[in-house]
Amino acid sequence: MDALDAKYPFFASAREAVASAGVSLPDLVAADAPAVERARERVERALLEGTVASESGAFPGESAYDVQAELLSYPIARILVSLLDSDPAIEKYAAAEAATAMDRVRRDLETDDELRSVSTATVALDDLLAEFDLADAVRPDRSAPAGVSGGSRGGAAGGPTGNVAGRDPDHYRIDVGSYLRLTSPEWGDSWRLVNRALADGAVRVTRDELLAALEAAVEERVAEGLPFEDLGESLAEALESRVADLRRLLSERTYAEPPDVVAPPLFPPCMTNLVEKAERDAALSSAESFALMAFLVGIGMTPDEVVAFCADTSLDAEGIRYQTEFLTDDRGTQYPPPTCETLANYGICHNEDDHMQVAVDPLSYYEKRVAAADEVTDWRAERRPDETTGA
């Protein structure tokens, strides 16, 4: 096993490495090996933060033992997600694996050619294309000048093109069949085939669009085959405590219609406490940030509105936008906010005024307070400019 296998565990070579290692996953679980705890962290961070990277930020480990634990955590994480028996959890997990993988790909592509030549832990774009059988379907767009890509990322090294200075071009062409397989019109009008430059059976895309399409391919591969069936009672029992911890992150409720009113005076005590803590410029923990963002999304706020609402707090605008977009599934499945019991386990909810007797989660409590209020002023209405004056 090498670091590249652990870095991209969905690659065919990584699966072969696991198979050839002769490691028994049930034995690892029974022994409570480090890979098991890393798998739990992998799933928890996927559900809370949209990433599967270790919270320590260290990857890969310096020892072969660390690399093996990282790689083996991937199949165990897939087992944990399967045992959660939740389609939204599977979707969020697969999306987080894909997002993390493509963050790593982008960093690899920015690696200097000279460093790449001595490193075994980076991939080139042609490696990724070959992994998804796209080597012959994707090629650089010769009609556009090659060179350093625009934007904040700059150029990317080690692409499949062999163009000047080893840099990837700004644009590619994808065979139309592969383009339709990799993309979806639901991503927006710009992705619809009718709105694309099509010539000689190929669609022109930017480098970033190509990477976005590859991220979708990674997500599809990660989700493939989930949830597992017939895992066996012994394996399920051995993982029961970790599954229970993860299940606490999932509310049993889904919300067809949010309250769609932002009235801070009526927020549940736990959410008010989190807002006030952030306003004091105190850092929120991952669990606290997730709980607050899930609540604000749950009451119908858009990412832009949440950014504006938290403008004078310790919360970072970019982090807010990333997390709120992650919490809202474009396919219509909203990840529900945690229950009061879950928040209590994280030290966030203190059951002020015995409110758990009124509602089992912050959103239900808020709905009841809004319904009972004589007058409700929407924070969004207060900050909208006067349409008659434009002020």
> What is the 8-class DSSP label of residue 328?
B
Sorting pLDDT into bands at 50, 70 and 90, what band is 64?
A: low
pLDDT at 167: 56
Report how far apart, in Å, the C-alpha atoms of 146 and of each of 129, 156, 329 are.
19, 11, 36
60 against 223, higher pLDDT: 223
pLDDT at 388: 37
pLDDT value of residue 139:
95
Q: How many CA atoms lie within 13 A of 93 on its CB side?
A: 32
> Confidence band (pLDDT; 50, 70, 90) for 60?
low
The pLDDT tens digits for 77-129 are 999 999 998 888 898 899 989 989 998 998 888 875 555 554 557 899 999 99
Is the confidence at residue 335, as pLDDT, over 90? no
Average pLDDT over residues 24-28: 91
More confident position, 149 or 16:
16
* Residues near 288 by beta carbon (within 8 Å), at least 6 away in sequence: 274, 277, 346, 348
The structure tokens listed for 82 are 């399967």
Question: What is the H or E stretch that residue 206 is in?
Answer: strand 202-206
Residue 63 exposed, middle or buried by CB count within 10 Å (0-12, 13-18, 19+): exposed
Distance in angstroms (rounded) separating the CA atoms of residues 217 and 181:
9
Q: Indicate if the alpha-carbon torsion angle 234, 239, 241, 243 is positive or negative.
A: negative
pLDDT value at position 216? 92
Do residues 76 and 36 lie in contact, with contact meaning Cβ atoms separated by under 8 Å? yes
Range ranked top by mean pLDDT from 158-172, 200-214, 319-333, 363-377: 200-214
User: Which comes out higher in pLDDT, residue 145 or 188?
Assistant: 188
Q: Tell me if the pTM is above 0.85.
A: no
* Dihedral pair phi/psi, residue 222, rounded to 5°: -60, -40
Q: What is the mean pLDDT of residues 327-336?
A: 54
57: pLDDT confidence band, cut at 50, 70 and 90? low
pLDDT-based confidence at residue 279 (cuts at 50, 70, 90): very high
